[in-house]
Amino acid sequence: MSREIRFYNTLTRQQEAFHTLEPGHARVYTCGPTVYNVVHIGNLRTFLFEDVLRRTLQELGYRVTQVMNLTDIDDKTIRGASAEGVSLREFTDRYIALFFEDIDTLRVQRAEHYPRATDYVPQMVELVRRLTANGHTYVLDGSTYFRIASFPQYGRLSGVLLDEVKAGARVDADEYEKEDVRDFVLWKASKQGEPVWDTVLGPGRPGWHLECSAMGTALLGESFDIHTGAVDNIFPHHENEIAQSEGATGRPFVHTWLHAEHLVVEGEKMAKSKGNFFTLRDLVERGHDPAAIRYLLLSVPYRQKLNFTFDGLAGAESVMRRIDNTLRRLAHTPAAGDGGALAATDVAAFEAELLDGLADDLNTARALAAFHMLLTRVNQALDGEGIAQPVRDRLDEAFGLVQRTLDILPARPKAADDAAGIDALVAERTAARKGRDFARADAIRQELAGRGIILEDTPHGTVWHRQ
Ligand SMILES: [Zn+2]
């Protein structure tokens, strides 16, 4: 690979040079949404970190196979479907469609596979059968449990202590706290009102943790490279995944574990009861630009807590305008002749710094700082001697790199229609000035000012930008 990538591995609690098990092929499992509601901006922060992960791996030469599961059966989806009196499939189909709309709005690249848990029940049953053969399970009241005392490595990922396990204590819920380190359910005996599969394990349905182990190994193999999620997945979800997978296969499950920190809103934990709980749709309805939301959620490296504030979002929107203005100014300024005030080596240095930042445990703040430095250099060059054509071509390549890795340049299509009209008015004003029709020229300037468009007469002609 052209550049070494370093990741902070939750499992070893240190930064490590990344290597794939199969040369050149990165196999990545990302815990996906539980499709019982619309995802909130904290979930989206995690999905955006995973998006930059996949883009960075691709840019640095890896073929990526990414799996993101859709949890369409667990305590929450069953509760939601039964509250509405619809089938589980009908209920979860709706939230799966909304999930894809949201990630498309935020420009998240699609993974290679989006398995639904309910399509992998035979693989889950097989996994439990292997765990039983290896002495890791027991059955009680028709449910099958994982006996964590049979797996001495339990706790290696999360640091929970096995000696705190209450002897014989079990937990049936899909989600539970660290205080509840205990045997967890793999296969739940059928209950009135719950979907049921008739299998060799008896009538019942899978537990949440089992689903990810089965889909991960089915699509990526028994050992693969990267597993990601949010920090609240570390315990019990990922700890249980390791126990189930390694208990069944006897092989290391995943090499590198990456976890995104929480998002808080205005310094507080997000909660519906506090009125600070936001979905992407909430923000778009308030008139916020999805590109700016993406920018804001990427601006803090994934291992740091992100404090989402409306001031911060306004700041991201003004950054979007700055980028847009610079790009348009560049497009409207003719190329300088020989020389120019920006060198191709400056552009190459920017590209190297952006990639170094991303290879440094996905340090998006460092990558974005490099981009802002480049924009400053571009603006300074346009203020001065301009930029020669070969360097402009290199800039186009650099902007392509920004889009492939971070995808933060402002959306174009709508602005471009608008821009054509503005261009026509600017040209008309230039013609009016040439013909000494200053009244018409001033009228056009004022009309554009009313639309928030500022004109700047430069030695290279008139350049416009948005306020
Ligand atoms: Zn999972």
Percent of the chain surpassing pLDDT 70: 97
The beta strand positions in 315-412, using DSSP E, are: none
pLDDT digits (tens, 9 = 90+) for 42-80: 999 999 999 999 999 999 999 999 999 999 999 999 999
My answer on whether 31 and 100 are in the same domain is yes
My answer on whether 298 and 354 are in the same domain is yes
pLDDT digits (tens, 9 = 90+) for 378-397: 999 999 999 999 999 999 99
My answer on whether 126 and 145 are in the same domain is yes
274 CA → ligand 1 middle, Å: 28
In a domain, 266, yes or no: no
240 CA → ligand 1 middle, Å: 10
Domain residues for the domain of 443 are: 413-466
My answer on whether 376 and 417 are in the same domain is no
238 CA → ligand 1 middle, Å: 7
Q: Is-contact 229 303, C-beta < 8 A? A: no
237 CA → ligand 1 middle, Å: 7
Domain end (from 260, 295, 319): 260
Bridging pattern class, strands 202-206 and 224-230:
unpaired
352 CA → ligand 1 middle, Å: 34
My answer on whether 385 and 453 are in the same domain is no
74 CA → ligand 1 middle, Å: 12
435 CA → ligand 1 middle, Å: 69
My answer on whether 382 and 451 are in the same domain is no
90 CA → ligand 1 middle, Å: 22
Q: How far apart are CA 458 and CA 333, in angstroms?
A: 9
In a domain, 274, yes or no: no
My answer on whether 174 and 84 are in the same domain is yes
316 CA → ligand 1 middle, Å: 31
Contacts made by residues 444-451, CB under 8 angstroms, sequence distance 24+: 448/422, 451/422
116 CA → ligand 1 middle, Å: 12
My answer on whether 394 and 430 are in the same domain is no
CATH number reported for the structural domain that contains residue 51 in this entry: 3.40.50.620
In a domain, 226, yes or no: yes
101 CA → ligand 1 middle, Å: 21
318 CA → ligand 1 middle, Å: 36
Per-residue pLDDT, 413: 47
pLDDT digits (tens, 9 = 90+) for 170-199: 888 888 877 778 899 999 999 998 999 999
97 CA → ligand 1 middle, Å: 19
- To the nearest whole number, what is the mean pLDDT of the chain? 93
pLDDT digits (tens, 9 = 90+) for 406-425: 999 987 544 445 778 888 89
In a domain, 275, yes or no: no
44 CA → ligand 1 middle, Å: 15
In a domain, 359, yes or no: yes
CATH number reported for the structural domain that contains residue 357 in this entry: 1.10.730.10
The beta strand positions in 79-172, using DSSP E, are: 137-140, 143-146, 170-171
In a domain, 1, yes or no: no
- Total number of domains constituting the chain: 3
My answer on whether 379 and 256 are in the same domain is no
Question: What confidence category does residue 165 fall into, taking pLDDT thresholds of 50, 70 and 90?
Answer: low
My answer on whether 191 and 214 are in the same domain is yes
Dig out the tokens for 229 from the structure: 């999620």
147 CA → ligand 1 middle, Å: 20
115 CA → ligand 1 middle, Å: 12
In a domain, 320, yes or no: yes
199 CA → ligand 1 middle, Å: 23
Question: What confidence category does residue 169 fall into, taking pLDDT thresholds of 50, 70 and 90?
Answer: confident
7 CA → ligand 1 middle, Å: 20
72 CA → ligand 1 middle, Å: 12
215 CA → ligand 1 middle, Å: 9
Per-residue pLDDT, 164: 61
pLDDT digits (tens, 9 = 90+) for 16-33: 999 999 999 999 999 999
My answer on whether 294 and 356 are in the same domain is yes
282 CA → ligand 1 middle, Å: 26
My answer on whether 147 and 287 are in the same domain is no
Which element (helix H / strand E) includes 230?
strand 224-230
pLDDT digits (tens, 9 = 90+) for 346-355: 999 999 999 9
310 CA → ligand 1 middle, Å: 31
14 CA → ligand 1 middle, Å: 23
Dig out the tokens for 139 from the structure: 């059955």
Q: How far apart are CA 120 and CA 346, in angstroms?
A: 51
322 CA → ligand 1 middle, Å: 39
| Nearby residues of 286 by Cβ (< 8 Å), 6 or more positions away | none
Per-residue pLDDT, 167: 60
Domain end (from 355, 384, 405): 405
224 CA → ligand 1 middle, Å: 15
3-class SS of residue 142: coil
In a domain, 113, yes or no: yes
132 CA → ligand 1 middle, Å: 22
243 CA → ligand 1 middle, Å: 13
DSSP string for 181-196: -SEEEEEEEP-TTS--
263 CA → ligand 1 middle, Å: 19
Residue with tokens 């250099």: 377
Dig out the tokens for 4 from the structure: 């070494």
